[in-house]
Amino acid sequence: MNNPVHIDSNYEFFCLIVNFGTGSRVMKIARNNGISGATILLAKGTVNSRLLEILDITDIRKEVVLMISERKQAYDVLKTLNKELALQKPHHGIAFSASVAGLMGMRKINFDKHNERGAGNTMYSAIFVIVDRGKAEEVVDAAKAAGARGATIMNARGSGIHETQLLFNMEIEPEKEIVLILAQKDIVEPIAASIREKMKLDEPGNGILFLLDVNKTYGIR
């Protein structure tokens, strides 16, 4: 007899984009506050350095730290990270969180049938686009043409040519790139449409795009 699926919307995904070398400090602070696991991805920014853009990223190396925990714990840790990293200061990084609708591999299997949201800032959405390596800049161009102010490009690749990167214990093929765009909700639809058209996402194998409603933000000016 199969075990019943546990319905729960009490988990939160959160992401920090910080300067290169700061990711290990983020993980240490999170671990000291009860979060045992995280994923760090190397990334580069795409924003012109003469502008203070929404992702607070210029064309330098960044680290993206991804974590999942119960919502209350996530919000507490985000507050601590905001204080410890001084995210309110320019170029110190940004952080945001979003509700998890389904979760596997963390003791429970959770599906949020009612799409319940945690309380917090919902002015922004996070746009994730996964495309073949070398296509990320085209995604960014399409996003900027529709009003996006910046993006982060992550190479989903291990240190060796035959290795894969693990994202929450899921394998991502080495040749993929992930583009993350944080945008105000009123321009999310045109940005997504622009990317969809330019990258021909309706054709098989050209990539995928998904959106997350953002609950909390720190470091956005």
Per residue in 168-186, pLDDT tens? 555 554 578 899 999 999 9
Mean pLDDT within 99-114: 52
- Looking at residue 190, its amino acid is P
Q: How far apart are the first and last CA of the chain?
A: 53
Using one digit for the tens of pLDDT, what is the confidence trace for 115-128? Answer: 444 445 568 999 99
pLDDT, greater one: 163 or 134: 134
CB-CB contact of 179 with 128 (8 Å): yes
The per-residue pLDDT for 220 is 81
Hey, which residues does 4 pair with through a beta bridge?
none
pLDDT bracket for residue 163 (50, 70, 90): very low
Query: Tokens standing for 92?
Result: 């110190």
Domains in the chain, CATH or no CATH each = 11-218 (3.30.70.120)
Mean pLDDT within 152-165: 57
Average pLDDT score, the chain: 78
Q: What are phi and psi of 121, to 5 degrees?
A: -75, 120
pLDDT bracket for residue 18 (50, 70, 90): very high
Mean pLDDT within 38-45: 84
